[in-house]
């Protein structure tokens, strides 16, 4: 299997044969002027070629057997033959057939990219893809580990397991697909397996490992599962798991345990997992944690150049970026999805709103009203339903919310039509359900087809409409649902957008009572003398000191704080209140913590030194691992009884900052709420 990047494109029918193709194969090649062609061609040697874009080609030879398959098959076949008492030839045939069938389907499926840009032709990954980076920000040294996607082939075998995160629309899945293509085209050591974890939502009782085995049992025949198991044990597999955040919320923790059990059992296997930022993955000790880097200005320009869109609009957009849009709206521009939405929105609106919910609102209105940019400015695509934009938005908010509460992010056609029917009845907005589904797919492009299923073009669209539902449509449900949505605030943006859409109601009925409850529990506690008591009151469960030994014997110390969404009596936890406050008041938290950063870092160093020398916790066996300087990490849980020892250390500074921020937020919000009440009273007096 070989990958040709930037090499010769497939020959035009009038040119010489390319790569030994037959005349018939060449004649099936699309014209060179087509920038988005992707087609499958078998030549006389039964070579399957997938041509992507003008200057990219993936050539896969299955009849001769691609090197990545034949090389590994030859290495593992004798071992499998001895283990399972089958002939080497039989095992080779099964492995080759199984991986051929599996890889065939993935290439055809994942070479295509879903997008909110409407077009008669799909967009292919290499036509629109811009190289990305992942990074690990080492807080304790100047070293910043940053890896380009093309270099993952060299990096992953050393680290074995990584999990990387990024916010909605930052290109997590696109990056993982690109990594997969690298591994099926540029190496001969590992069988690459790519799985979308959301598929497990349809089989709650199926284990992740069983799902992997079943993928190959049908194509390899009897023994497929045990072959894969043996290959994983030998470290001959690289496993790409896409979308940990797309697993049903109630089952996500269990799936995380299963993934870590797989990593522990098959400790030689390479694993890459993508997810949105999720606190649960911070506890995956067997995985290196990374984040997807934001797009640089150069990457923004390259994406603008590549994206198939109206050239006049692209020129206007580029001019706005050059005149300062990158500085004023960097948060949107560095995110690929939001970047595309900005491009669509800028056709209809002169300015881009600064608030994310208004941005989605404008983007939806642009998607609803705009012409098909690939057909020219005079073309308007015929709609399948004739309803006003406000009814369309309301109906879509019902549809999105029903699916969200059911934790359905992919739909069969039957499921999608059922949801539309239920939404139509609940909202009393009459539509023909089949026509509405066609409109969502073909006109507004909010929904797209993925094989036999339907999905939101991006989950963040679903989240926007769910927030709209509770903040604007069914406001009486606002308070009853807010706590549950807040519990999901670490993994999606519904809660944050809902808080912005109806700020008055949110501050009066959620922030004030919840933050007041939290502050009342800690206001009388001294941060200097009882820091652990304050931190456990806020974070609800475990406070731990984690000491890790770095390169050349250097050690670092940090604090981990873990809590629960709901406490034992089913009530909402302080931990969630605090986490939501950090999202809502990010700048305030950043400001406070940046002010104490240097002081805390020095204090951490002093504390670690005192523990090593026995000046602190000298007889406490919990800290033996620190004093003995064992390799790796050791974690020491702290309780209120430790306050006497750690009082006055950096833990006191953490507790003081948390207490001050909570008090400041409560005071500010209360002042705004009271100001609104006085203002309303003044208005109502006009009617007296």
Rg of the Cα trace of the chain? Answer: 28
- At 2, phi and psi to the nearest 5? -130, 150
pLDDT at residue 550 in the model: 53
| Bridge partner residues of 411 (DSSP) | 454
What pLDDT, on a 0 to 100 scale, did the predictor assign at position 387? 92
50 pLDDT exceeds 60? no
Write the pLDDT tens digit of every residue in 538-581. 886 667 777 765 545 555 555 665 555 544 444 557 888 888 89
Tell me how far apart the alpha carbons of residues 403 and 422 are, in angstroms, rounded to a whole number: 11
CA 645 to chain centre: 41
Bridge pairing between strands 2-5 and 56-61: antiparallel
Is the domain defined by 123-292 classed in CATH 3.40.50.300? yes
Share of the chain above pLDDT 90, in %: 24
DSSP run (H or E) holding 146: strand 144-148
The Cα 583–Cα 513 span in angstroms is: 18
The predicted pLDDT at position 111 comes to 79
Choice between 234 and 108, residue whose per-residue pLDDT is larger = 234
Q: Which residue has the higher pLDDT, 629 or 652?
A: 652
Tens digit of each residue's pLDDT (9 = 90 or more) over 595-621:
887 777 777 777 777 777 777 777 777
Residue 266 confidence (pLDDT): 93
CB distance 164 to 179 below 8 Å? no
**143-152, 373-382, 634-643: which range is least confident on average?**
373-382
In tens, the pLDDT along 62-99 reads 333 366 677 777 878 888 888 887 888 888 888 888 88
Q: What is the mean pLDDT of residues 1-8?
A: 32
**Cα dihedral across residues 215, 217, 219, 220: positive or negative:** positive
Residue 343: the pLDDT is 86
pLDDT at residue 559 in the model: 60
Q: Is 332 left (phi over 0), alpha (psi -120 to 50) or beta?
A: alpha
Cα–Cα distance measured from residue 532 to residue 643, given in angstroms and rounded to the nearest whole number: 6
Once rounded to an integer, what is the mean pLDDT over residues 17-26?
A: 36
So what's the pLDDT on residue 8? 34
Taking the C-alpha atoms of 226, 232, 237 and 242 in order, what is their torsion angle to the nearest 10 degrees? 90
Q: What is the mean pLDDT of residues 276-298?
A: 85
What are 168-200's pLDDT values in tens digits?
778 888 899 999 988 887 777 888 899 999 888
As given in the structure block, the two tokens for residue 137 are 């920000």
State how far the Cα of 108 lies from the Cα of 27, in Å rounded to an integer. Answer: 21
User: Is the per-residue pLDDT at 400 higher than 80?
Assistant: yes
Average pLDDT, integer, range 379-407 = 87
Q: What are phi and psi of 426, to 5 degrees?
A: -70, -35
Confidence of residue 251 (pLDDT cuts 50, 70, 90): confident
Average pLDDT over residues 260-287: 88
Residue 609's pLDDT is 75
Among 138-142, 210-214, 240-244, 573-577, the minimum mean pLDDT is found in 138-142
Sequence spans of domains, the chain: 1-64, 123-292, 297-375, 389-501, 515-670
The helix or strand, by DSSP H or E, that contains position 39, with its residue range, turns out to be strand 38-42
DSSP helix/strand/coil, 226: helix
pLDDT of residue 556: 59
pLDDT of residue 37: 34
Res 66: pLDDT: 61
pLDDT at 402 over 90: yes
pLDDT confidence band for 632 (50 / 70 / 90):
low
- For residue 19, the model assigns a pLDDT of 31
DSSP 566: B
d(CA 214, CA 195): 12
More confident residue, 436 or 630: 436
Q: What is the pLDDT at residue 688?
A: 61
Least confident of 12-16, 261-265, 440-444, 666-670: 12-16
**pLDDT at 603 (0 to 100):** 73
Please report the pLDDT score of residue 521 as a whole number. Answer: 92
- Beginning with the edge strand found earlier in the chain, give each strand of the sheet holding 542-549 in spatial order: 555-562, 542-549, 633-638
User: pTM above 0.75?
Assistant: no
What does the pLDDT read at residue 641? 80
Contact indicator for 198, 71 with CB cutoff of 8 Å:
no
| Sheet hosting strand 447-450, strand order edge to edge | 410-411, 453-456, 447-450
Whether the predicted pLDDT of 589 surpasses 80: yes
| Distance in angstroms between the alpha carbons of the first and the last residue of the chain | 83
pLDDT, average across residues 328-357: 81
Question: Would you state the pLDDT for residue 9?
Answer: 34
C-alpha–C-alpha distance, residues 501 and 16, integer Å: 61
Integer Cα distance of 200 and 135 in angstroms? 29
* CB atoms near residue 599 (< 10 Å): 11
**670 closest CA partner among 515, 496, 521, 522:** 515
Per-residue pLDDT band at 646 (split at 50, 70, 90)? confident
- Name the pairing type of β-strands 47-52 and 56-61: antiparallel
Q: What is the pLDDT of residue 620?
A: 77
Average pLDDT of the segment spanning 644-666:
88
**CA 357/CA 397 separation, integer angstroms:** 14
């Amino acid at each position: 299997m070989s990958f040709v990047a930037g090499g010769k494109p497939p020959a035009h029918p009038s040119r010489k044969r390319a790569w030994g193709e037959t005349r018939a194969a060449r004649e099936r090649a699309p014209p060179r002027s087509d920038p988005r062609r992707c087609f499958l061609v078998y030549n006389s040697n039964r070579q399957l070629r997938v041509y992507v874009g003008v200057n990219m080609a993936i050539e896969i030879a299955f009849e001769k057997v691609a090197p990545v398959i034949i090389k590994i098959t030859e290495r593992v076949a004798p071992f499998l033959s001895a283990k399972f008492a089958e002939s080497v030839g039989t095992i080779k045939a099964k492995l080759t057939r199984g991986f051929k069938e599996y890889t065939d389907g993935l290439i055809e499926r994942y070479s295509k990219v879903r997008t909110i840009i409407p077009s008669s032709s799909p967009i292919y990954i290499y036509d629109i893809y811009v190289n990305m980076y992942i990074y690990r920000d080492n807080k304790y040294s100047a070293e910043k580990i940053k890896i380009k996607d093309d270099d993952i082939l060299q990096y992953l075998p050393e680290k074995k397991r990584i999990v990387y995160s990024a916010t909605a629309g930052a290109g997590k899945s696109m990056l993982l697909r690109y990594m997969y293509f690298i591994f099926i085209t540029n190496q001969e050591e590992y069988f690459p397996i790519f799985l979308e974890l959301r598929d497990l939502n349809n089989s709650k009782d199926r284990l992740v490992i069983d799902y992997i085995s079943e993928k190959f049992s049908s194509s390899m025949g009897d023994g497929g599962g045990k072959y894969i198991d043996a290959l994983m044990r030998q470290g001959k597999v690289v496993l790409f798991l896409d979308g940990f955040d797309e697993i049903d919320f109630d089952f996500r923790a269990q799936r995380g345990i299963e993934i870590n059990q797989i990593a522990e059992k098959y400790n030689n296997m390479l694993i890459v997992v993508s997810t949105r930022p999720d606190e649960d993955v911070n506890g995956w000790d067997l995985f290196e944690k990374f984040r997807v880097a934001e797009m640089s200005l150069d990457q923004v320009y390259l994406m603008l150049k590549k994206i198939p869109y109206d050239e006049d609009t692209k020129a206007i957009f580029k001019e706005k970026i050059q005149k300062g849009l990158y500085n004023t709206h960097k948060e949107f521009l560095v995110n690929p999805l939001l970047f595309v939405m900005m491009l669509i929105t800028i056709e209809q609106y002169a300015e881009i709103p600064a608030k994310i919910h208004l941005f989605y609102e404008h983007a939806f209105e642009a998607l609803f009203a705009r012409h098909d940019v690939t057909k020219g400015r005079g073309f308007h695509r015929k709609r399948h339903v004739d309803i006003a934009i406000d009814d369309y938005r309301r109906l879509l908010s019902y549809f999105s919310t029903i699916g969200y509460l059911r934790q359905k992010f992919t739909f069969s056609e039957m499921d999608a039509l059922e949801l539309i029917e239920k939404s139509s009845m609940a909202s009393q907005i009459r539509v023909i359900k089949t026509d509405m589904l066609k409109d969502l797919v073909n006109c507004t492009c909010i929904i797209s087809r993925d094989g036999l299923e339907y999905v939101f073009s991006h989950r963040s669209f679903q989240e926007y409409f769910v927030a709209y539902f509770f903040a604007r449509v069914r406001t009486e449900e606002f308070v009853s649902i807010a706590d549950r949505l807040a519990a999901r605030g670490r993994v999606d943006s519904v809660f944050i957008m809902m808080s912005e859409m109806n700020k008055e109601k949110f501050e009066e009925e959620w922030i004030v009572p919840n933050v007041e409850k939290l502050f009342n529990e800690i206001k009388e506690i001294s941060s200097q003398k009882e820091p652990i008591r304050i931190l456990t009151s806020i974070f609800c469960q475990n406070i731990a000191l984690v000491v890790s030994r770095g390169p050349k014997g250097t050690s670092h110390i940090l604090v981990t704080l873990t809590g629960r969404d709901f406490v034992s009596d089913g009530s909402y936890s302080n931990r969630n209140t605090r986490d939501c406050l950090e999202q809502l008041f990010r700048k305030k938290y950043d400001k406070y913590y940046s002010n104490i950063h240097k002081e805390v870092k020095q204090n951490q160093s002093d504390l670690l030194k005192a523990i090593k020398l026995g000046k602190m916790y000298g007889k406490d066996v919990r800290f033996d691992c620190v004093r003995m300087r064992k390799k790796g990490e050791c974690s020491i849980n702290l309780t209120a009884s430790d306050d006497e020892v750690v009082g006055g250390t950096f833990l006191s500074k953490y507790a003081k900052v948390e207490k001050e921020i909570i008090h400041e937020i409560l005071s500010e919000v209360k002042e705004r709420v009271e100001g609104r009440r006085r203002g309303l009273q003044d208005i109502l007096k006009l009617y007296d």
